[in-house]
């Protein structure tokens, strides 16, 4: 067994760790992860190129302070939805962790997904585990420089593309691509592409499992979601021990041995370099590489699969595993409620919003014929997908007249329309200030309307 | 990297603390930037009241992020100091 997969006490950080050379693995769970990598990275790299009604389908337009997600436009006023979504994401993580253990870590975490791709590139440039170990021990030669250079080239190119794509979610990617081609990138765009590219390169190329062990907050508190009914990857000690080498097809029991042949392949494939046979450890990201490789070995040895398998503590104790239990029911119920609420709230979100801001310089104005005028600035936000015409009216205790340049406001989709407006109260009665209500109606869609209150100031006598 | 030996160099408590400080401050800064600029529009500040570097939204976002990171670094460093410093004489 190679020394580099062995770990001493895990209290060293980053560079202090010995490098892990995960052995390539194939099997059910490896295929599942490969699929997950393609799907997730496919979404990440292709999504910004998708068009919707002549604009980028998903664009978090920070300079314009508008988020476009397919047909929806979100404004800073909709920040609550983002918060809501993050809470849903967190609860979903709790829920799936309680049921399936660290499924997130093994298959969906960006750290896992990008590390996997960086490993593919490493394998392409430097060969499999044995070749990489040999290469790193070999003295520098032209061949070694060539292989290392190829790896660095692939890594850096992929990292920069990742940074470019990332920035493409925040600034229109087609424009960005044009600027990259013409070497006309702005300083901040350049900075963020390099910043994010470097983060990808460092995390997926070098830090790898260290991120999970030392940087990830989730890894630290995930055990709080675990109980004896949670799926974990476990080595079946009762079946495997005492471990030891034996000839293929021979009966382990007859030789007084367990099914584990101590081939150490489960240690060699582990991306975090642990030995699963020592029991569940905090470093285990539940990638199931050890299951795949052990199943292969068991097949070859003619023993049943599952010496290392997904199972629960209860199952190992020969007790029934309960999927429905207070923990999952509570997580599930809260998650369900939040999700239904979210969908409803987004669907019922008013497609228009109206802000009324009083003019700060003038309290009110008295006209010669005994009327009171207040001046406001009106902001109409059309959050819908279509341009709309709006009419505005105001009502108070006595009749109000709106004095503006026009009576009908044409607002394009996703745009803000801002106009100064004078509101005239016909007489002094009632005396003093009052709260008036502005109502905005769409002429194109009668269902679209909104109301906003504002103070109307007037002299008391 | 020392792959063959498998031995581990200890980078020491200070470097370890540095890593944790930088990283936790980064997470806090990301969060603060998001919330802060969701609620405040840099462009809404009245003309003439903004400092000279306050030119565009993207620039203010970026400066804001690094500002929050700096504050986070200060807080995390202070926290580390206070959490580790007190050692009574036996």
Q: Do B11 and A15 touch (CB under 8 A)?
A: yes
Q: What is the pLDDT of residue B68?
A: 96
**B41 to chain A: closest CA residue:** A65
Residue B4 has pLDDT above 60, yes or no: no
Q: Where are the domains of chain B?
A: 13-84
Residue B3 has pLDDT above 60, yes or no: no
Copy the structure tokens of residue A292: 């795949």
* Residue whose pair of structure tokens reads 């199972």 in the numeric block: A311
Q: How many domains does chain A have?
A: 2
B6 or A37, which is more confident? A37
Q: What is the pLDDT of residue B46?
A: 65
Q: What is the pLDDT of residue A14?
A: 46
Q: Is residue A399 part of a domain?
A: yes
Residue ending a domain, choose from A315, A347, A379? A347
Evaluate whether A99 touches A230 at the Cβ level (below 8 Å).
yes
DSSP annotation of B43 reads G
Same domain, A256 and A289: yes
Q: Do B3 and A188 touch (CB under 8 A)?
A: no
The upper half-sphere exposure of residue A397, i.e. CA atoms within 13 Å in the direction of its Cβ, equals 13
Q: Is residue A230 part of a domain?
A: yes
* Residue whose pair of structure tokens reads 């840099």 in the numeric block: B42
Instruction: Average the pLDDT over B1-22 and give the result.
Output: 62
Q: Do B38 and A76 touch (CB under 8 A)?
A: yes
Q: Do A62 and B57 touch (CB under 8 A)?
A: yes
B75 or A382, which is more confident? B75
Query: By three-state DSSP, how is residue A106 classified?
Result: helix
Same domain, A332 and A384: no
| Interface size between A and B, measured as CB pairs under 8 A | 71
Q: Do B8 and A19 touch (CB under 8 A)?
A: no
Q: Is residue A79 part of a domain?
A: yes
Same domain, A179 and A99: yes
Q: What is the pLDDT of residue A294?
A: 93
Same domain, A257 and A146: yes
A26 or B55, which is more confident? A26
Q: Tell me the chain A residues in contact with residue B62 when contact means C-beta distances shorter than 8 Å.
A: 188, 191-192
CA dihedral in degrees (A423, A426, A427, A429; nearest 10)? -70
Same domain, A63 and A97: yes
What is d(CA A98, CA A101) in angstroms, rounded to the nearest whole number? 6
CA distance B24 to chain A (A): 9
Range of the domain at A273: 16-347
Backbone angles phi, psi at A443, to 5 degrees: -80, -20
Q: Is residue A273 part of a domain?
A: yes
Q: Tell me the chain B residues in contact with residue A186 when contact means C-beta distances shorter than 8 Å.
A: 58
* Residue whose pair of structure tokens reads 């008295």 in the numeric block: A366
Residue ending a domain, choose from A347, A369, A395? A347
Query: By three-state DSSP, how is residue A442 classified?
Result: strand
Q: What is the pLDDT of residue A342?
A: 93
* CATH code of residue A394: 2.60.40.10
Same domain, A417 and A337: no
**B59 to chain A: closest CA residue:** A188
Same domain, A192 and A321: yes
Q: Is residue A430 part of a domain?
A: yes
Mutate to test the interface with B, among A12, A111, A273 (most CBs of B within 10 A): A12
Q: What is the pLDDT of residue B6?
A: 39
* Band (B11; pLDDT cuts 50, 70, 90): low
Q: What is the pLDDT of residue B10?
A: 56
- How much of chain B, in percent, has pLDDT values that exceed 70? 77
Among B3, B41, B62, select the one facing A133 at the smallest CB separation.
Answer: B3
Same domain, A181 and A300: yes
Among A19, A62, A214, select the one facing B1 at the smallest CB separation.
Answer: A19
Q: Do B4 and A137 touch (CB under 8 A)?
A: yes
Cis before residue B76, ω within 30 degrees of 0?
Answer: no
Segment among A19-23, A199-203, B11-15, B36-40 with least mean pLDDT: B11-15
Those residues of chain B whose CB sits closer than 8 Å to some CB in chain A are 1-11, 15-16, 19-20, 23, 27, 35, 37-39, 41, 56-59, 61-62
CA distance A70 to chain B (A): 20
Residue B63 has pLDDT above 80, yes or no: yes
CA distance to A16, A56, A209, B88, per residue, from A204 (Å) = 17, 28, 9, 43
Q: What is the pLDDT of residues A442-454, one digit of tens each?
A: 888 888 888 889 8
CA distance to A36, A94, A376, B25, per residue, from A339 (Å) = 24, 14, 39, 31
What is d(CA A375, CA A423) in angstroms, rounded to the nearest whole number? 6
Q: Is residue A1 part of a domain?
A: no
Element (H, E) at B16: helix B12-39
Residue ending a domain, choose from A322, A347, A372? A347
Q: Is residue A8 part of a domain?
A: no
Copy the structure tokens of residue B90: 């036996």
Same domain, A188 and A231: yes
CA distance B50 to chain A (A): 18
Please list the ranges in chain A whose pLDDT falls under 70: 1-17, 427-430, 461
Same domain, A261 and A212: yes
Those residues of chain A whose CB sits closer than 8 Å to some CB in chain B are 2-4, 6, 8, 12-19, 21, 62-63, 65, 76, 79, 82, 133, 136-137, 186, 188, 191-192, 214-215, 217
Q: Tell me the chain B residues in contact with residue A4 when contact means C-beta distances shorter than 8 Å.
A: 3-4, 6
Same domain, A23 and A163: yes
Same domain, A434 and A364: yes
What is d(CA A271, CA A33) in angstroms, rounded to the nearest whole number? 13
Among B4, B8, B62, select the one facing A17 at the smallest CB separation.
Answer: B8
**B12 to chain A: closest CA residue:** A12
């Amino acid at each position: 067994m190679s020394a580099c997969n062995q770990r001493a006490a895990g209290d060293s950080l980053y560079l202090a760790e010995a490098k892990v050379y995960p052995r390539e693995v194939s099997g059910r769970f490896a295929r599942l992860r490969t699929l997950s990598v393609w799907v997730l990275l496919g979404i990440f790299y292709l999504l910004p190129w998708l068009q919707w009604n002549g604009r980028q389908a998903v664009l978090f337009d920070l300079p314009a302070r508008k988020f476009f997600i397919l047909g929806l436009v979100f404004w800073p006023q909709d920040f609550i939805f983002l918060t809501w979504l993050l809470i849903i994401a967190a609860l979903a993580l709790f829920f799936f962790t309680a049921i399936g253990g660290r499924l997130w870590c093994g298959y969906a975490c960006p750290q896992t997904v990008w590390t996997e791709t960086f490993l593919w590139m490493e394998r392409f440039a430097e060969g499999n585990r044995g070749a990489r170990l040999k290469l790193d021990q070999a003295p520098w030669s032209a061949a070694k420089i060539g292989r290392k250079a190829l790896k660095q080239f692939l890594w850096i190119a992929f990292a920069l593309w990742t940074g470019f794509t990332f920035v493409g979610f925040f600034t229109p990617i087609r424009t960005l691509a044009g600027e990259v081609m013409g070497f006309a990138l702005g300083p901040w765009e350049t900075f963020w592409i390099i910043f994010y590219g470097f983060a990808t390169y460092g995390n997926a190329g070098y830090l790898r499992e260290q991120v999970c062990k030392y940087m990830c907050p989730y890894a630290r508190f995930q055990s709080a979601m675990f109980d004896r009914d949670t799926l974990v990857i476990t080595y079946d000690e009762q079946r495997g021990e005492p471990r030891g080498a034996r000839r293929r097809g021979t009966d382990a029991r007859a030789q007084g041995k367990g099914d584990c042949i101590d081939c150490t392949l489960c240690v060699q494939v582990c991306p975090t370099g642990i030995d699963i046979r020592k029991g569940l450890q905090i470093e285990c990201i539940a990638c199931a590489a050890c299951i795949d490789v052990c199943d292969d070995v068991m097949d070859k040895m003619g023993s049943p699969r599952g010496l290392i398998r997904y199972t629960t503590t209860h199952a190992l104790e020969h007790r029934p595993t309960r999927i429905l239990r207070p923990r999952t029911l509570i997580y599930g119920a809260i998650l369900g409620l939040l999700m239904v609420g979210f969908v409803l709230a987004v669907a019922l979100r008013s497609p228009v919003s109206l802000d009324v801001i009083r003019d700060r310089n003038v309290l009110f104005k008295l006209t010669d014929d005994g009327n009171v005028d207040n001046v406001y600035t009106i902001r109409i936000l059309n959050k819908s997908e279509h341009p709309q015409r709006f009419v505005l009216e105001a009502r108070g205790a006595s009749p109000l007249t709106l004095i503006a340049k026009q009576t009908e406001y044409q607002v394009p989709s996703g745009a803000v329309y801002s106009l100064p407006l004078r509101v005239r109260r016909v007489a002094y009665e009632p005396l003093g200030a009052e709260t008036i209500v502005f109502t905005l109606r769409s002429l194109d869609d009668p269902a679209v309307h909104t109301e906003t209150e504002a103070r109307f100031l007037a002299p008391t006598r | 990297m020392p792959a063959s030996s498998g031995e581990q160099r200890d980078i020491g408590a200070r470097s370890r603390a540095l890593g944790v400080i930088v990283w936790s401050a980064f997470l806090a800064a990301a969060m603060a930037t998001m919330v802060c600029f969701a609620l405040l529009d840099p462009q809404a500040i009245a003309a003439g009241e903004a400092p000279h570097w306050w030119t565009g939204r993207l620039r203010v976002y970026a400066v804001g992020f690094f500002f929050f990171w700096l504050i986070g670094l200060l807080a995390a460093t202070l926290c580390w100091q206070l959490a580790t410093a007190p050692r009574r004489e036996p």
